[in-house]
Each structure stands twice: as C-alpha cells, then as structure tokens.
Amino acid sequence: MKSNLFKYIFIVFVIGIVIFAFFKIKKDEAEKQEIEQRISENTQEKVTEIRLGIAQFDTLNPLLTNNKNIQDITKIIYEPLINISSDYKAEQGLAIEWAKQNDTTYIIKLRENVKWANGERFTSADVQYTIERLKERQTIYSTNVQHIASLEIVDDYTIKFNLDQEVPFFEYNLTFPILSKTFFDTNDFNNTSIVTVGTGMYQVSDVQQTYITLTKNTNWWNRDKKLSLDKIIINIYDTVGELYNSFKMGNIDVINTDNINIQEYIGTIGYTPKEMKGREHTFIALNTQNYFLAKQEVRKAIAYSIDKQNIVSSVYNNKCYTSSFPLDYGSWIYQEQDASSGYNIEQAKQLLTSAGWKYTNKYWQITENYKTQRLVLNLIVKASDTINVAIAQNIKTQLEAQGVRVNIQQYSDEQYKNALNTKKYDMILCTINLSLSPDMTTFFGTNNLANYTTDEINTIMQEVKNNNDENTLKEKYKRLAEIYKTDIPYISLLTNKYTVAYNSSLVGDLAPNWYSPYYGIDTWYK
C-alpha cells in the first residue's frame, strides 16, 4: 500500500515539474519576443516625410487663392490671429488676448517674440497691412473684415479694432492668415508666383513646376512642439481626378473633400477615412406670421411628417447626415447630439386632431369663424439648385401623403433672393454655408428667416453676445436648441458630409474637422 502511495506522489511530482517547465519555456519565449519587438521598434527608422497634393494650383498667397486645398495647406505655413480648435472653439494664434471694450470696440494683444520665416519681427503693422489688403479686394476672407471700420495701432503688440456695427463673436472673424508687411514692401502683392513668408511651423523651401517642398521653420515661435516631419512634399496636379488617382496609388498621404462619391475615385482600401459633418446646412424656414404656420401644432405636425432619412437615402444615396440643429456639426458650444429624424406620423395626427383639425377626403382642414380651410402651403425653392428641387419634391410627396397639400414654387436666383429679403413665403427651402462663429442671428436675430421672436429668445440672444463664460454659453445654447426643436420655427434637414482620408501608413494624432485636416501634424510620421 505504501509503495503505491509513493508511486502516486512521484507521478504527481513529475507532472508538476513538466507543467512548470512548459509554462517557464512559454514565458521565456514571450519575454524574448517582447524584447525583440522593442529592439525592432527602436531600430526601425521612422519616415519623417509625407506627400500632400494640390489640384488646379493658382498661388501660395493665402489671401489670393480660391483653392480650398491650398487654403488648408497654407494653415501650416501662415498663422491667423485666432485659431480654431478641432471642436470649433476660438483659441490663441498670433493673438494671445482679445477683449470687448464695448459693442463695437475690441482690443487685441499680439504674441511677442514671433518672427517670420526670414527672421523679420512680427508686429501690429503686419496685421494692419493684411487687413488693408483684404478690404481693397474681393477674396474668400473679405467678409471677415467687412465690419472693421478702422484699426488703431496702440503699440507693436496691441491693436484696437473699431467696428461699424456690433458683431456677435467677432473674434471668430479673425481667422484669416496674416502676411508680412516688410516682405511686401519690396515685393508685388499681386504677383501670384511670389513665394511669401509665414510665421507657421513649416516654410516653403523649394518651388518647382510639379511640386513644392516645405521644411521646418526654424524661426517658429512654438519651441515646445517638436515637429516629427522634417519635410512635406506637395505634388501639383492639373485635375482633381489626377489627385484622387495619385492618392489611390499611394503617392500622396492625405486628401480632403466634400465629394459625396469619393469612394468611386479612391476605392475603399489602403487608407483611413475620417468622415464628419461639413458646413453646408439645409433646412426649411417656416414663416411663423403665415395664417397656418402661426399655429404651433401645424409646424410640429409638418416636422413630424417629414422623414429626413428618406431624403438622405433617396436624394443623396445615404451620403450626407440628417440634422436637427444648425450647430450639431461638432461645435464646442452645442454638444447635444440628436440622431433621430423626429419622424412620427401618429404624433402629427394627434397634434392636429387635438387642435380641432379634421382629416377629410385625404386633406387636413379646420373650421374657424364659420369658414373651413384646407391645409395648403407653398414651398419656395431655387430653380437652379437641382438637389434642393429634388428635396422639395420629396417633401411634397411626404407631406401630401399625410394630408398637407404643398405647392412647389421654383424661383429664379433673383426671385429667390427677393423672397428671402422680403420674407414673402409660407415655407422656403434654404442651404447655407455656416460660418465658423456659433452666432445664431440668422435664425433668431431681428428680421430672421422665420419671422420668429419671443421675449425669451430676445433675452437669450442679448445675453450670449455679451458673455464669455463657456458654461453659461453652453447652457444658453442648449436652451436655444430646445426652442428650435419644440417650437419649430425651422426644420433642419441635412448637413453635407466632409471626408479626410489618410494613408494607412500614416501615424500620429489624426483629428480633422472641416476647418483643417492638419490638426496634430506635429506628431505625424510614417
């Protein structure tokens, strides 16, 4: 009996040794692989050069170009007074402070010890020079300075702006690139072939017919940021098609576009897409002074009867986003995301029925003052905007299926503009390019597109334009959005899709928005 016991103990002991040896070997192998991987990572050379692309190149002067690709790229060569963060917040650029003295006066304090790439000193004179150039010509940034009546240089690093009217969130207009006065004192500003100097992280070091080379700006003021990229090559193409094909072949590393059919050109592999809402916002303005639309239940019923996703799929082939509020594109001031379309037929019927409407012969109608009227509305759309005409037709079909008759009125560009100015419409289909500013004057200000106003709205609009406290602003804008969605002076429909595509081998902080695809470029490498 004893011998059997010892035998069993011996077998268990041997098995234990085998198991221990097995796991010890596996552990050693894992540690060896980890060490080898670390050695490999440390010895592998990082590629510190990337290639960008420009189609239909015109000029590197950011105040003269009409090419958005160039505007984006020049953001790493030139700098504005005010930068825009990835969540669309105004932040320090060449200006480190800005203060509103009164409704039309701002004091701007500039960053000191900033040099241009050629070593010249940056001062207030450069800001004045840039604004003077913008005010004397029509450029993409002209509207940014249109309300600057005068500019006073207090000293080399302090400027006073005097406006001709109050501009809510005026600092968001100061996002245009600043150019060097001393450089253009000896060079022709209008010469599009001149390679100007900037204060940004990279500078132009070589320009050839088919490419442009950027290298680190050794005079850049931001010493804390260590730029990973030593060189950026910008390939020049005659057409956008050539640009897309070059990206598809792996010859450039980043492209950005609002082309909804981009995958048809670049395929679906070899890159990392970042899709986001753009700044093109489509909505219906409901004239709240109209006999029918003055009734809240009618506005709500119309909103509940429109399936936005139906528009997205049938008109855009699912290549845009539904929208519920103008600032739901990712703005810091409004982070409440509402993904639903608000489509609810039963709720629409209940609202109208509760308010005394009757559904008869496939139409909603109401009897007031012994007079019975059907719910019939006109919808104005710009005839030259074929996409919006298709959207209007879709809305007409949807509403008429629910008993609301819609007459589509296709206006010429001039007629459409006049209708907007005079507010002579029941409903009007609009697409606007939202500014970088979170200002909601278009929707809630005096003479707004919906002829809509309440005491609460007036109070909020007055409060937000004179308030710099971020928490208060978020609270007030949350309330504006609630009113927008519950009282329905407008029906937000769609926001366009903006795509930034990065070569899969690109490493670093890739956090683009519509304003710039190059956030975090200081961390990039391959």
Q: Which two tokens stand for residue 44?
A: 């592998």
Among candidates 56, 55, 62, which has minimal Cα distance to 200?
62
pLDDT band per the 50, 70, 90 thresholds, residue 203 = very high
- Which of 35-39, 268-272, 434-438, 508-512 comes out lowest in average pLDDT? 35-39
Q: Which two tokens stand for residue 222?
A: 């931001």
pLDDT value of position 224? 86
- Which of 7-21, 108-122, 439-453, 487-501 comes out lowest in average pLDDT? 7-21
pLDDT band per the 50, 70, 90 thresholds, residue 223 = confident
pLDDT value of position 337? 65
Pairing outcome for strands 490-503 and 320-322:
antiparallel
Residue 33 pLDDT exceeds 80: no
Residue 402 pLDDT exceeds 80: yes
Q: Which two tokens stand for residue 497?
A: 């899709």
| CATH, domain range 46-77+200-270+504-526 | 3.40.190.10
Mean of all residue pLDDT scores within the chain = 91
pLDDT value of position 30? 59
* 343-349 mean pLDDT: 94
* Dihedral pair phi/psi, residue 494, rounded to 5°: -140, 155
- Residue, of 130 and 10, whose pLDDT is higher: 130
103 C-beta neighbours (distance < 10 Å), count: 12
Residue 148, CA distances (Å) to 84, 132, 374, 468 in order: 20, 10, 50, 21
Chain segment 454-465, per-residue pLDDT in tens: 999 999 999 998
Name the superfamily (CATH) of residues 277-498: Dipeptide-binding Protein; Domain 3 (3.10.105.10)
- Which of 11-15, 46-50, 214-218, 416-420 comes out lowest in average pLDDT? 11-15
pLDDT value of position 139? 85
Per cent of the chain over pLDDT 70 is 90
Residue 35 pLDDT exceeds 50: no
* 303-318 mean pLDDT: 96
pLDDT value of position 39? 40
CA pair distance 252, 118, nearest whole angstrom = 28
Among candidates 57, 76, 79, 78, which has minimal Cα distance to 67?
57
* 204-217 mean pLDDT: 96
pLDDT band per the 50, 70, 90 thresholds, residue 472 = very high
pLDDT value of position 129? 97
Q: Which two tokens stand for residue 489?
A: 């002076």
CA pair distance 255, 57, nearest whole angstrom = 15
- Which of 1-15, 203-217, 241-255 comes out lowest in average pLDDT? 1-15
pLDDT band per the 50, 70, 90 thresholds, residue 3 = low
* 239-254 mean pLDDT: 95
pLDDT band per the 50, 70, 90 thresholds, residue 238 = very high
- Which of 18-27, 190-199, 281-290 comes out lowest in average pLDDT? 18-27
CATH architecture of 78-181: Alpha-Beta Complex (3.90)
C-alpha angle 461-464-465 in degrees, rounded to nearest 5: 90
CA pair distance 184, 486, nearest whole angstrom = 54
Neighbouring-strand partners of residue 213: 206, 233
pLDDT band per the 50, 70, 90 thresholds, residue 335 = confident
pLDDT band per the 50, 70, 90 thresholds, residue 248 = very high
Chain segment 60-81, per-residue pLDDT in tens: 999 999 898 899 999 999 999 9
pLDDT value of position 443? 97
Chain segment 125-168, per-residue pLDDT in tens: 999 999 999 999 888 899 999 999 999 999 999 999 999 999 99
pLDDT value of position 4? 55
Q: Which amino acid is at 280?
A: E
Residue 302 pLDDT exceeds 90: yes
pLDDT value of position 29? 62
Q: Are 23 and 29 in contact (CB under 8 A)?
A: no
Q: Cα(first)–Cα(last) distance of the chain, in Å?
A: 71
pLDDT value of position 43? 42
pLDDT value of position 336? 74
Domain ranges of the chain: 46-77+200-270+504-526, 78-181, 277-498
Residue 433 pLDDT exceeds 60: yes
CA pair distance 459, 463, nearest whole angstrom = 6
Residue 363 pLDDT exceeds 50: yes
Classify residue 496 as left (phi > 0), alpha (psi -120 to 50) or beta.
beta
Residue 9 pLDDT exceeds 90: no
